[in-house]
Amino acid sequence: MRISIAIAALMLLGSVRMQAQTKTPVYLDETKPIRERVEDALSRMTTQEKIAMIHAQSKFSSAGVPRLGIPDIWMTDGPHGIRPDVLWDEWKQAGFTNDSCIAFPALTALAATWNKDLALLYGTSIGEEARYRNKTVLLGPGVNIYRTPLNGRNFEYMGEDPFLTSKMVVPYIKGVQSNGVATCVKHFALNNQETDRHKVNVNVDDRALYEIYLPAFKAAVQEGGTLAIMGSYNKYKGQHCCHNQYLLNDILRGEWGFEGVVVADWGGVHDTRQAITNGLDMEFGTWTDGLSWGTSNAYDNYYLARPYLDLINKGEAGTKELDEKVRRILRLSFLTNMNTKRPFGSFGTPEHALAGRRIAEEGIVLLQNNNNVLPIDLSKTKKIAVIGENAIKMMTVGGGSSSLKAKYEISPLEGLKKRIGTQAEIVYARGYVGDTSNNYNGVASGQDLSEKRSAEVLLAEALKVAKDADVVIFFGGLNKSDFQDSEGNDRKSLGLPYNQDKVVSELAKVNKKLVFVNISGNAVAMPWVKEVPSIVQGWFLGTEAGTALAEVLVGDVNPSGKLTFTFPVKLEDNGAHSTGEFPGNGEVTYKEGIFVGYRWAEKQKIKPLFSFGHGLSYTTFEYGAVTADKKTMSSSDKITFNVTIKNKGTRDGSETVQLYITDVKSSLPRPVKELKGFEKVFLKAGEQKTVSITVDKSALSFFDDKKHAWVAEPGDFEALIGASSSDIRSKVKFALAD
């Protein structure tokens, strides 16, 4: 039977007292510098103990050193909730009754709040949950860039813009790590599709790499201080990213000075010698005997296990790289599970549910609201028709590794019923049938969604219910099933599944007061957009999803979310698809370069369905003219832009003021404009405030791939203040001096 880490530590300390009756060993003395403690612990370890630390010993743990009181490291999937435990050596559920978590909104919803304070709240709350479950590392957040709306994992990420993602990920990291739990920011790097994810080689120019795909990771390292980074499955420059010389050694450690641990994505290691030399620290999920897939309980045969030890014993490899790996792992342990001052955490609490609800409320985006169908006026509403499978389907389960066993989940229909009560009659009709299964990753939803009626009968029922309703709310979109918003496969098309377009169009014919709520982490096509007056982006909102949606729909909460990615009218309006390079055939080239998302749409003069940064409110905001505190800034200086915002309506509300920068004349092609600042401001009805946004020369810089350096060229620039990338309210010229 395994001796518990706690007992082992007590035995060690007792042994030290009995044998030496002197001071505590350096590595256990928390008053000593971390580097000194690491070196002391390392000097006491055998080669076998070091090897044991750098690879998995179970599905989600790696070994400590019981002899020295160094505990195992326990990983947990996130980043939207703490994954239920699985068996030691199997993916089957452990069957615990105390691992039902609070499901937080998906990161697409968090980013849509454009609220850095809520990112900190999110991180702190999920960090408390991870700490209570005694996890060492949270496998998240994800910061891969939204290159195409077909990527199955977009719902786990924070959108298409590197600046916004960078600003939102830093407080999330700090919140998690304040609990003595490490974040493992993923997936480094260029993991922008699920198709052929284990073998596809990504070809991208250095400008796009540094300007679009790396900034959030750099911010996570240098500003957030993340203790771990997860390598991605795909290849770059012909090497798998989990042991990639250029990404891990040259950029991550060399250019950025990362001192933390690089963790392989599960099954992402493919070569022992590359894993030794190319920057990887911890190998997980290989699930192989070194030669073939499918061998269970083969941890000693991992690439960084016995094969590595054999090379050392034969003199074909030294221990320099091994010691570096263990140093980094020890540092992580001393800052997390060996930190006696870290808090105890809390799990499944009402406070965490409330935090998730606040994030959900601010993340919901009002995309369209013709004729002011929303908010629903309950004083004038007697009957509400709720249509659509997504009104009742659980969304906390499914989606791949982020699938959760939630303590509870309030569906949109349930949320409306709870909020409205007897104020109005609510009648439900399914309208369409999507995924009727109820088991994902071993977690059973408990729902019986089986349906024997035909599509024609379901549509007829929906139309009958909708015809005499005062308001019709259709909850549709995607779900977290395979080939939708889910890990492992990409979506097959931009269109809605399950023939929803027909249902929506037919509903619009029988009732003009129609609201479409899109439950998804991705953009979808909306061929009926002119027929439906009100459209809401509802995301995957977690435990309190239905509560938050109901509050926005009836006006208890004034929506303030803004899109973090562009909704194209058609797939060909997206740069990755316009150039024909998705998903590739073993090789994929990012021919659009730096022109991702709104950058592509503006370069090509394509009008999107809904623009990056777009989001309406139940009130109106008046923008004054933007001013700058100086006309010219030096390269070592900063410049502040000020704009007055007034709430002209009768409802309190929040607006996100967005600052974009245009380089008037550049030696290299640049986007029409790029987001370089934002502030969310709350205004009571009639209230006015001045918003200030300060930038330095980094906001004016581009990456010169020939010089391999960031360059800010002297000359003329424009600062644009807007409510979205396509709704610019005012601009001001300024210059960067020589």
- Determine the Cα–Cα distance for residues 173 and 123; give it in Å rounded to an integer: 6
**Residue 727: which H helix or E strand, with range?**
strand 727-736
State yes or no: is 704 an active-site residue. Answer: no
Label the pairing between strands 383-387 and 471-477.
parallel
User: Cα torsion for 518, 521, 524, 530, to the nearest 10°?
Assistant: 40
Query: What are the angstrom distances between the C-alpha of 280 and each of 186, 232, 269, 272, 304?
Result: 14, 11, 9, 10, 10
Three-state DSSP string of 205-243: CHHHHHHHHCHHHHHHHHCCCCCEEEECCCEECCEEHHH
Contacts of 63 (CB under 8 A, 6+ apart): 52, 53, 57, 72
- Determine the Cα–Cα distance for residues 576 and 705; give it in Å rounded to an integer: 21
Query: What are the angstrom distances between the C-alpha of 685 and each of 122, 558, 646, 650?
Result: 28, 12, 9, 5
Closest CA to 297 of 74, 66, 56, 64: 56
Contacts of 186 (CB under 8 A, 6+ apart): 139, 140, 141, 142, 143, 144, 229, 230, 232, 265
Q: Environment class of residue 372 by beta-carbon count within 10 Å: exposed (0-12), middle (13-18) or buried (19+)?
A: exposed
* Matching residue, tokens 């990753």: 441
- Cross-strand partners of 623: 645
Query: What are the angstrom distances between the C-alpha of 416 and each of 350, 421, 429, 552?
Result: 20, 8, 14, 10
- Determine the Cα–Cα distance for residues 297 and 278; give it in Å rounded to an integer: 26
- Determine the Cα–Cα distance for residues 150 and 46; give it in Å rounded to an integer: 48
Locate 500 and state its tokens: 């929803």
Phi then psi for residue 137, to 5 deg, are -130, 130
Phi then psi for residue 505, to 5 deg, are -65, -40
Selecting among 72, 85, 161, 265, the annotated active-site residue is 265
**Three-state DSSP state, 697:** helix
- Determine the Cα–Cα distance for residues 561 and 653; give it in Å rounded to an integer: 11
**Three-state DSSP state, 335:** helix
Half-sphere exposure of 486 (CA within 13 A, CB side): 21
Closest CA to 63 of 74, 75, 53, 77: 53
- Determine the Cα–Cα distance for residues 49 and 72; give it in Å rounded to an integer: 12
Burial 500-518 (b: 16+ CB within 10 A, else e): bbebbebbbebbebbbbbb
CB 453 within 8 A of CB 436: no
- Determine the Cα–Cα distance for residues 726 and 162; give it in Å rounded to an integer: 18
CB 190 within 8 A of CB 216: no
* Matching residue, tokens 């299964």: 437
451-458: long-range contacts, CB 8 A cutoff, minimum separation 24: 455/499, 458/429, 458/430, 458/431, 458/432, 458/433
Query: What are the angstrom distances between the C-alpha of 21 and each of 18, 27, 487?
Result: 6, 17, 55
Q: Is 518 left (phi over 0), alpha (psi -120 to 50) or beta?
A: beta
Active site residues: 265
